[in-house]
Chains A and B, each alone.
Chain A
Amino acid sequence: MISVRRTSALGILVAFSSLLGASSCLYDSSDRCDPNQVYNANAGICVCTGNTIAGTNPDGSPGCAPCAEHELASNDACVCEEGYQRPTPDGACTLVPDALGLPCQEDKDCTDATYDTCHLLDDASGYCTNVGCAAGECNGGYACDTVADPSYCARPPEGAGKSCATNDDCAGTEATWCDTFVSHVCYVEGCALDGNDCPGKECCDLSVKSGGLVKKTICVDSGTCNP
Chain B
Amino acid sequence: MMRVSRFGLGAWLLSRASISLAADPPSTAAAPGAPAASTAPAAPTTPVEPGVDMGAPAATTAATPTAAAPGPTTATADADAEAKFDAAPGPATDSFATDESSGDSDTQRKLDLYGFADFTYQRLLVDKDNIWNRTYPSVNSFAVGNFNLYLSSNLGDSWRALAEVRFMYLPNGATKPDGAGNAVRTDTTVLDYTGFSEPIRWGGIRIERIYVEHEFNGLLKLQVGQFLTPYGIWNVDHGSPTIIGIKKPFVVSNQLFPEQQVGLQLYGSYFFDPLEIGYHLTLSNGRGPVEYEDFDNDKAFGGRLYVKTEALGSLTIGGSFYRGGYYDRSAKYVVRNEGSTVDQEYATISKYQELSLGADLKWEYKSWLVQGEAIMNETNFDQNGRPRATALKPPQGFQADYRRWGAYGLVGYRLPFVPLMPYVIVQHAYSPDSPSTPPATAYELGVNYRPTAAVVVKLEYTDWHFSAPGSAGFGSYPLRILATQVAWAF
Contact = CB atoms under 8 A, between A and B. Distances in A.
Interface in B1-58: 1-7, 10
Nearest to B184: A211
Q: Could you say which of B387, B397, B435 has the most chain A C-beta atoms within 10 Å of its C-beta?
A: B397
Contacts of B388: 54, 62
A182 B323 contact: no
Contacts of A119: none
B348 A62 contact: yes
A60 to B, nearest CB: 3
Interface string B212-231: 00000101100000000000
Contacts of A47: 395-398
Interface stretch (A30-38, A120-128, A130-138, A151-159): A30-38
A110 to B, nearest CB: 30
Given A22-B323, A26-B354, A60 B347 contact: yes
Nearest to B301: A19
B17 to A, nearest CB: 14
A53 B398 CA distance: 11
Interface in A171-191: 179-184, 187
B7 A181 contact: yes
Interface string B123-163: 00000000000000000000000000000000000000000
Given A45-B435, A61-B385, A12 B281 contact: yes
Given A8-B220, A211-B182, A221-B1, A28 B401 contact: yes
B353 interface: yes
A104 interface: no
A143 interface: no
Contacts of A45: 389, 391, 395-400, 435
A1 B178 CA distance: 68
Interface in A182-227: 182-184, 187, 204, 206, 209-211, 213-214, 218, 220-221, 224-225
B334 to A, nearest CB: 12
B393 interface: yes
B379 interface: yes
Interface in A1-53: 4-5, 8-9, 12, 15-16, 19-20, 22-29, 31-35, 37, 39-40, 43-48, 53
A27 B400 CA distance: 10
Nearest to B305: A16
Contacts of B330: 60
Interface residues of A, number: 63
B281 A9 contact: no
B384 interface: yes
A182 B5 contact: yes
Contacts of B268: 8, 12
Nearest to A208: B180
A60 B180 contact: no
A81 B431 CA distance: 40
Interface in B371-401: 378-381, 383-389, 391, 393-401
Contacts of B321: 19-20, 23
Q: Could you say which of B391, B398, B471 has the most chain A C-beta atoms within 10 Å of its C-beta?
A: B398
A27 B1 contact: no
B176 interface: no
Contacts of A39: 400
Contact of A16 (B303, B393, B432): B303
A26 B378 contact: yes
A41 to B, nearest CB: 10
A40 B387 CA distance: 16
B355 interface: yes
Contact of A54 (B10, B350, B396): B396
Contact of A224 (B1, B10, B303, B402): B1
Given A26-B355, A181-B4, A33 B398 contact: yes
B413 interface: no
A76 interface: yes
A181 B4 CA distance: 7
B279 interface: yes
A146 interface: no
A183 B401 contact: no
Contacts of A8: 217, 219-220, 268
B384 A62 contact: yes
A46 B4 contact: no
Q: Which 3 A/B pairs are nearest by Cβ-Cβ distance?
A: A60-B347, A224-B1, A27-B378
15 contacts: A16-B303, A23-B355, A27-B402, A33-B401, A37-B398, A45-B389, A48-B397, A57-B384, A59-B347, A61-B347, A181-B3, A182-B2, A183-B3, A210-B181, A220-B1
